[in-house]
């Protein structure tokens, strides 16, 4: 069905984003997988094209699009390249950006945002801890006041962009007795003594993104690097999570759809028992099912994007979009691999790589089980 979410300006922007992907990402796809990070020059080129500052005011070097649908278009085009590329750019330009725009002081904006928009300042966000997972309220990283500074100790893990980030927004406990109401966000920058990276984590999929462990040993952070209000970090994170989750939903379905298209073509071309495998009734019915699932899911995600662009998306509806798209994405890609037969298990086929890349989407940004818990609570259960 014809999508009604986007207008002419969005589609013109899509052409620019697609050209960026075709020129700068697809030709080096294998290299990015092998080295396990995205070259800084690619980030700088994204900055030159205005892709990193969609939410940043023009006064600080951004384009101040003022319309979340542009974020969604960019995520869709990046996802057609790979889930990892979309994730890496999404963390910087879609997840971290609202923190640096909405919660920072004028001095902080001047200090960080211009370089954020150009790609000179690569960012990440440090929420998840080795023992915490989706339970953000139980984080153990601490920040203790020392004069005008704060001393941070602890660790984070599974941090996308963590290995090469120049600035990481770190959630730390500043008032332990207040539990979830005693968490503060800090900007920890490369070069601060005691801030160390672990190895680039050896993931099942999404190899293009540098995912790392972060360690903080008596890291001295000035008060001028506090993001938002002291002891309101958990609230700040909860306020920002709906955008992260709807962004994940956009990427999930945009990642699965082109692989399904490729699989349908494969089912037309590949012959077995004297006929295309797609003409076998089971496969024909399966592909009909998968296409319908993708299109129905896309319609719900489009509604969520429109609601978010209007400032009306609820945390519960974002949770629905996040878990459902992750589920559909993984189901679709699992069948795509099966339809490719033995070739579906070969990493030179996009179906195999996409299948590996997708598994984490049911875990990150709050596991699917946590999403269902949020929805269940909203039902009064």
CA–CA gap between residue 342 and residue 305 (Å, rounded): 37
5 Cα distance to chain centroid = 21
Tokens of 72: 């969604």
Bridge partners for 276 per DSSP: 271
DSSP state string for 49-80: TT-S-TTS-GGGT------HHHHHHHHHHHHH
Would you tell me how many other CB atoms lie within 10 Å of the CB of residue 277?
19
Tokens of 351: 């179906």
Q: Is residue 156 classed as helix, strand or coil in its secondary structure? A: strand
CA count, 13 A, side-chain hemisphere, 29? 20
DSSP state string for 132-146: TTT-GGG---EEEEE
DSSP symbol at 111: H
- Domains, the chain, ranges and CATH? 6-120 (1.10.540.10), 123-229 (2.40.110.10), 232-377 (1.20.140.10)
User: Is 19 considered catalytic here?
Assistant: no
Q: Find the catalytic residue in 229, 244, 261, 295.
A: 244
Distances (CA, A) of 145 to 149, 153, 175: 6, 12, 10
Predicted confidence pLDDT, tens digits, the chain (381 residues):
899 999 999 999 999 999 999 999 999 999 999 999 999 999 999 999 999 999 999 999 999 999 999 999 999 999 999 999 999 999 999 999 999 999 999 999 999 999 999 999 999 999 999 987 677 778 999 999 999 999 999 999 999 999 999 999 999 999 998 988 999 999 999 999 999 999 899 999 999 999 999 999 999 999 999 999 999 999 999 999 999 999 999 999 999 999 999 999 999 999 999 999 999 999 999 999 999 999 999 999 999 999 999 999 999 999 999 999 999 999 999 999 999 999 999 999 999 999 999 999 999 998 999 999 999 999 999
Which of 231, 123, 112 has the alpha carbon at shortest distance from 171? 231
DSSP symbol at 207: T
For the chain, strand residue ranges (E) read 123-126, 142-146, 149-160, 167-173, 183-189, 195-200, 211-222, 226-227, 271-272, 275-276
244: region left, alpha or beta (phi > 0 left; psi from -120 to 50 alpha): alpha
Would you tell me how many other CB atoms lie within 10 Å of the CB of residue 218?
12
Cβ–Cβ < 8 Å for 182, 228: no
| Entry pTM | 0.94
2 Cα distance to chain centroid = 26
Q: How long, in residues, is the chain?
A: 381
CA–CA gap between residue 197 and residue 328 (Å, rounded): 34
CA count, 13 A, side-chain hemisphere, 379? 8
């Amino acid at each position: 069905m014809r999508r009604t979410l986007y207008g002419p300006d969005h589609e013109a922007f899509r052409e620019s984003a697609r050209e960026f992907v075709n020129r700068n990402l697809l030709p080096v796809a294998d290299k990015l997988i092998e080295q396990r990070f995205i070259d800084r020059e690619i980030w700088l080129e994204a900055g030159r094209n205005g892709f990193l500052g969609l939410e940043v005011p023009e006064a600080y070097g951004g384009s101040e699009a003022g319309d979340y649908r542009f974020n969604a278009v960019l995520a869709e085009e990046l996802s057609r390249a790979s889930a990892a590329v979309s994730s890496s750019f999404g963390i910087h330009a879609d997840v971290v950006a609202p923190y640096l725009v909405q919660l920072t002081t004028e001095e902080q904006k001047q200090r960080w945002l211009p370089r954020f928009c150009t790609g000179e300042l690569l960012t990440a966000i440090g929420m998840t801890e080795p023992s915490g997972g989706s339970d953000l309220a139980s984080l153990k990283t601490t920040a203790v006041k020392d004069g005008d500074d704060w001393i941070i100790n602890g660790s984070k893990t599974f941090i996308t962009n963590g290995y090469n980030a120049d600035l990481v927004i770190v959630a730390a406990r500043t008032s332990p007795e207040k539990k979830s109401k005693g968490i503060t966000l800090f900007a920890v920058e490369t070069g601060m003594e005691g801030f160390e990276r672990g190895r680039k984590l050896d993931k099942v999929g999404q190899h293009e993104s540098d995912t790392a462990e972060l360690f903080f040993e008596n890291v001295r952070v000035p008060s001028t690097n506090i993001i938002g209000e002291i002891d309101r970090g958990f609230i700040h994170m909860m306020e920002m999570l709906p955008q992260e989750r709807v962004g994940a939903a956009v990427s999930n379905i945009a990642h699965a759809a082109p692989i399904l298209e490729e699989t349908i073509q494969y089912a037309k071309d590949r012959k077995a028992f004297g006929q295309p495998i797609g003409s076998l009734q089971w496969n024909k019915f399966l592909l009909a099912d998968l296409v319908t699932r993708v299109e129905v899911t896309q319609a719900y995600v489009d509604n969520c994007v429109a609601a978010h662009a209007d400032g009306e998306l609820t945390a519960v509806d974002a949770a629905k979009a996040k878990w459902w798209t992750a589920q559909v994405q993984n189901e679709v890609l699992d069948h795509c691999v099966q339809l490719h037969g033995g070739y579906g298990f070969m990493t030179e086929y996009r179906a195999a790589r996409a299948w590996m890349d997708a598994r984490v989407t049911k875990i990150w940004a709050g596991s699917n089980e946590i999403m269902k818990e949020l929805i269940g609570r909203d039902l009064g259960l």
